[in-house]
Amino acid sequence: MLDELSALLAAVGQGATREEFVRAIVENNVLRKSTASTRRISAQRLTELYALDTTVPIFRVLQRLWPVHPDAHSLLALLSGLARDPLLRSTAPTVLGLREGQSFDRDATTEVLRIHAGNRLNEDILDKVVRNTAASWTQSGHLVGRTFKKRQRVKPSPTAVTMALFLGYLQGFRGTGLLRTLWCEALDSTPEALAGMATRASTAGAMRFRQSGDVVEIGFPDFLTKAENEMASHG
């Protein structure tokens, strides 16, 4: 979905409503789909995965960070997808736990998804979910290869680190714990390296990050409304 998300965000400006995003896909065909059916499917999947709604903090911040660093797009999309898609998130330990160069285990991933989904997916749909999951991890850069995929390490930017820390913040993590969440684990970096990139992001004004020894203060003063900040502060 990375190419579709990129095309959509390029075509629809900041501040658009969910209805305007859907209209751009279904009626204006900004994704250049061949049939009305595929346009509707794309609109549904993009909405499920990213919300396409600026009242949803994750999408609002994704859209805000998107123009900052084009090389961060793949990781921004993955992080947002992990936050919103429980099936994709359930495969994270399987993929992130692979050593660099180790082969992607389709059978193990299938079993993880089968356990997580219970009886909700038949075998045909489960197979499609596995393929989509592998594609998501490939687009993010964690896997490489067409037929036989192998693990590779990603190289995050301060923009991707900002998103990862923000997602952890929304989840209720604070202090050094923010550097050890699933979102940060997906960036293939040490807490020290992440802190360095967070410092750069703070200098650029993307977030607020201060570290003194083992004490870390992280804030996102412009990312959340007052009501959202109050909810986040209560975990």
Annotated domain spans of the chain: 2-55, 81-151, 158-233
DSSP string spanning 204-226? Answer: TTSSEEEEETTEEEEE-TTTS-H
Is the pLDDT confidence value at 204 over 80? yes
Is the pLDDT confidence value at 164 over 80? yes
- Give the pLDDT mean for 74-86: 97
Tokens 């499609």, located at residue: 128
Say how many C-beta atoms besides its own lie within 10 A of residue 24's C-beta. Answer: 20
DSSP string spanning 3-67? Answer: HHHHHHHHHS-TT--HHHHHHHHHTS-TT--SSHHHHHHHHHHHHHHH---TTSHHHHHHHHHTT
* pLDDT at residue 119 in the model: 80
d(CA 17, CA 58): 14
Q: In the CATH scheme, what is the code of domain 158-233?
A: 1.10.10
d(CA 115, CA 125): 14
Question: Per-residue pLDDT tens for 40-51?
Answer: 999 999 999 999
- Give the pLDDT mean for 146-161: 96
Is the pLDDT confidence value at 200 over 70? yes
Is the pLDDT confidence value at 9 over 70? yes
* pLDDT at residue 1 in the model: 84
- Give the pLDDT mean for 157-185: 95
* pLDDT at residue 121 in the model: 85
**What is the SS3 assignment for 99?**
coil
Backbone angles phi, psi at 103, to 5 degrees: -75, 145
Contact 36, 26 (CB under 8 A): yes
> Which amino acid is residue 199, in one-letter code?
T
d(CA 1, CA 44): 12
> Which amino acid is residue 163, in one-letter code?
M
Which strand (E) or helix (H) includes residue 144?
Answer: strand 143-144
| Average pLDDT score over the chain | 93
Instruction: Give residue 235's pLDDT band: very low, low, confident or very high (50, 70, 90).
Output: low
- Give the pLDDT mean for 187-209: 95
> Which amino acid is residue 133, in one-letter code?
T
Instruction: Give residue 149's pLDDT band: very low, low, confident or very high (50, 70, 90).
Output: very high
Instruction: Give residue 234's pLDDT band: very low, low, confident or very high (50, 70, 90).
Output: low
- Give the pLDDT mean for 197-219: 91
Q: What is the reported pTM?
A: 0.93
d(CA 101, CA 196): 26
